[in-house]
Amino acid sequence: MSTISLKGVTKLFGNLRAVDNVDLDVAAGEVVCLLGPSGCGKTTTLRMIAGLESASAGDVVIAGRRVNELSPSERNIAMVFQFYALYPSLTVRENLAFPLLAEKLSRTEIDRRVVEVARTLELTDVLDRIPGRLAEGEKQRVAVGRAIVRDPNCFLFDEPLSRLDVELRQQMRGKIKAVLGGLSKATVIVTHDQLEALTMADRIAVMQGGRIEQVASPHEIFTRPVNLFVASFIGTPQMNLLEAHFLGRENGLARFRTAEQELRLPLNGLAERLQPGAPVTLGIRPRAFDLASEPELDTLSAEADLIEPMGAETLVHAVDGKRDIRVVVPRRLRIGQGSVLHLRPKLGQVHLFGEDGRRIGA
């Protein structure tokens, strides 16, 4: 049974609480990404699963067994590091075979596994090369192959793609995802790159300040962020978070005062939970605006200040007083600096957060 379970796991470094009461379950065959900014505790959490750091409190359970007192080798995990750590004097074939030597397998079985992994990761043509004669993408595939050639309880990846360029990252994301999809092992990947997390994970655990803020599918994380931190951290360009006050309801619409403008929105039953005068934050993604020709009750007006071409789309930074509102529009729309935009939030794509920063609505 390849599973990972963290129960109230905490890590203290003196007075610093690096990881704070983390609960997380990873099922067999599931890929979970720990995602967050630098210093949020994601790598420390991974190191506690691996046994490279001891937990100050809580339980680390792997394959149904509490492993807090076990050494890394006794936990039977396979780990891929940010730095490949390949043996420079050994060939690719020998690097792949090295983890199997300690298991005292027959030479026939070792050769079979090495050939199978090499075929899966497209390394067959470089099996007799040393790491110094490999491209960066090939080195990373060897590091991954050295992990999956074994039959461990689980897989741990610590920012495995951070040293690759953009094109190689894209290729390796797909390759690693395909390989992991064929294995029934619990897998935890640490990354600060949200695109990696969104494309590779079955679920994402967003971390901040040593705590997990939200654990959910990539779709759920993106469409229903649980609080302001998750809302602002997930998504490129970043979600617009507009401070506002709820004015009340009129003709089935919720009225908000944001900066010096009033905005009316159909928020269904969410507005029923608010009292007039309540401070809220409206979360609107840059791609969740339509452009209106004239100002209306359901639009915000702002002046285009900075134009950033992004290929098929254009990112417009529009100024509303001292506030920057980011808007993504199709490239065919010609918007010049100083143009006044009337921005209509798309129906059903406005997120509402209360004064405590939590999402309003189940």
Pick the CATH number of 240-353 from 2.40.50.140, 3.10.20.30, 3.30.465.10, 3.30.1600.10: 2.40.50.140
pLDDT band at 110 (very low <50, low <70, confident <90, very high): very high
| pLDDT tens digits along 5-27 | 999 999 999 999 999 999 999 99
Q: Residue 119, Cβ neighbours under 10 Å: how many?
A: 10
Which residues, in sequence order, are CB contacts of 144 under 8 Å at separation 6+? 80, 121, 160, 175, 176, 179
Beta strands in the chain (DSSP E): 4-13, 16-26, 31-35, 57-62, 65-66, 77-80, 154-158, 186-191, 203-208, 211-216, 240-250, 253-258, 261-265, 279-284, 289-292, 300-310, 313-320, 323-330, 340-345, 350-353
pLDDT at 60: 98
Weakest-pLDDT range from 80-84, 128-132, 239-243: 80-84
Tokens at 277, concatenated: 């005068």
**Residue 64 reports pLDDT greater than 60:** yes
The answer to whether the CB of 295 falls within 8 A of the CB of 289 is: no
Q: How far apart are CA 53 and CA 326, in angstroms?
A: 42
**Of the candidates 325, 301, 300, 303, which has an alpha carbon nearest to the alpha carbon of residue 315?**
325
| pLDDT tens digits along 257-287 | 999 899 999 877 776 778 899 999 999 999 9
Which residues, in sequence order, are CB contacts of 343 under 8 Å at separation 6+? 289, 290, 291, 292, 299, 300, 301, 302, 318, 325, 327
**Domain coordinates of the chain in residue numbers?**
4-226, 240-353
pLDDT band at 1 (very low <50, low <70, confident <90, very high): low
pLDDT at 362: 44
SS3 state at 190: strand
Q: What is the pTM of this model?
A: 0.90
Which residue is listed with tokens 């794509």? 349
Q: How far apart are CA 304 and CA 326, in angstroms?
A: 10
pLDDT at 134: 92
| Highest-confidence segment of 61-75, 77-91, 145-159 | 61-75
pLDDT at 269: 72
| pLDDT tens digits along 287-344 | 999 999 999 999 999 999 999 999 999 999 999 988 999 999 999 998 999 999 999 9
Tokens at 285, concatenated: 């993604």
Q: How far apart are CA 164 and CA 140, in angstroms?
A: 9
pLDDT at 89: 95
Q: Decide: residue 31, CB within 10 A, 0-12 exposed, 13-18 middle, 19+ buried.
A: buried
Average pLDDT, the chain: 92
**Torsion 37-39-41-42 (CA) sign:** positive
The rounded percent of the chain whose pLDDT value lies above 70 is 99
pLDDT band at 183 (very low <50, low <70, confident <90, very high): confident
> Which superfamily is assigned to 4-226 in CATH?
P-loop containing nucleotide triphosphate hydrolases (3.40.50.300)
Q: Decide: residue 180, CB within 10 A, 0-12 exposed, 13-18 middle, 19+ buried.
A: buried
Check whether the bond before 330 is cis (ω within 30° of 0).
no
How many CA within 13 A on the CB side of residue 97? 19
The answer to whether the CB of 126 falls within 8 A of the CB of 134 is: yes
